[in-house]
A = this chain, B = another copy of it.
Amino acid sequence: MSDIGGKWQAITDRHALIRFVDACLRGAGQVMFQNNPLSGLLILIAVFVGAAHAGTWYIGLGAVVGVIVGTAAALAFDADTASYRQGMFGFSPLLTGIAVLTFLPQTAWSWALLIVGAAVTTVVTLAFGNLLKTWGVPALTFPFVLTSWFLLLAAFQFHRIGTGALAAPALPEAVGGAAAHATIDAQNLSTSMLNGVSQVYLIGSWISGIIILVALAVNSRWAALFAVVGTVASTLIALAVGAEAAMIDQGLFGFSAVLTAIALGCVYYRPSAAVAGFALLGIVFTLIVQAALDTMLAPLGISSLTAPFVFATWIFLFPKRNFAPTPHHERLKDGVVDTGKNDY
């Protein structure tokens, strides 16, 4: 395996175009912290499978265009080479590409918006990388979230783009008893949990969820394990507190927790019993932040995207020097390097 890795490395060193393709594939994996082109390839397949199953295969194309434009923009802006090669400029634009086509009508106008949005996402990535460097904290998927919020909110004011599948703006209302889960069905629940994994890429498909778990395991078994922990824990807690059943079924309470679980459980801290405890508190907090953002964004008709993961993980990473026993700090630094996560 490491031999194959070495050969692939040598090939990418020689050919600029293959290097670019490699950077794009790694970008697909970096959404979930995996600096591995094979993981990225499997994830792109998962996205296409899920999108095609929902009759919107062009969303897969949007992901590919997003990652290509974002990565090319990094080249144009003369960004840091090491980060470029690790796919650090591809993962947020990839998600921007998916979000535009998921929430807005697919027209020539929305494709143009997607391309501009993907390029701007790379500028935002550079901006937040520089901003957060002060504290050694990563931007995570926030460049995607911020740019996509702007694009989706802007669609209201541009008649030729239109608001498409965005929810109608409404004042928040408390979830009623009828909308909360009455009974638990183990089979339904397991598809909900797998949907929770695929929703990281805005796809609600349990098959895609399984492919994504495989893509994680190819590069890091810890990552696959914590992804499962994240979606299982958050789905069960959402069920316990009486969250809306339809949202649980689609995995919408799972995806942010999946990312928090991986980030806190095995990327920025070294796995241990204590860290698992911290990560669990982080998962619970992610669920709270997500519910809060759902309430907050209701009057605007937009979704919270992966913001709950970003906000909760930032809050659990910022205190790093005090938060965990000493050995973890070193891991924090190592982790950043190991997984190819740098300042961005």
Contact = CB atoms under 8 A, between A and B. Distances in A.
Contacts of A290: 154
Nearest to A131: B318
Contact of A172 (B242, B295, B301, B325): B301
Nearest to A169: B171
A55 interface: no
Interface in A281-324: 281, 284-285, 287-296, 299-301, 314-324
Nearest to A77: B323
A220 to B, nearest CB: 25
Contact of A159 (B116, B242, B320): B242
A135 interface: yes
Contact of A322 (B78, B153, B162, B318): B78
Contacts of A315: 120, 123-124, 127
A322 B128 contact: no
Given A123-B315, A129-B319, A130-B318, 19 more contacts: A77-B322, A77-B324, A126-B318, A126-B322, A127-B315, A127-B317, A127-B318, A130-B319, A130-B320, A152-B292, A153-B296, A155-B291, A156-B174, A158-B241, A159-B179, A159-B180, A159-B242, A160-B242, A169-B171
Interface of A: 77-80, 109, 116-117, 119-120, 123-124, 126-131, 134-135, 149-163, 169-177, 179-180, 240-244, 281, 284-285, 287-296, 299-301, 314-325
24 contacts: A78-B324, A109-B241, A117-B288, A120-B285, A123-B315, A127-B314, A127-B315, A127-B318, A128-B318, A130-B319, A130-B321, A134-B134, A150-B289, A153-B291, A153-B293, A156-B291, A156-B295, A157-B295, A158-B291, A169-B299, A170-B171, A172-B301, A296-B300, A299-B299
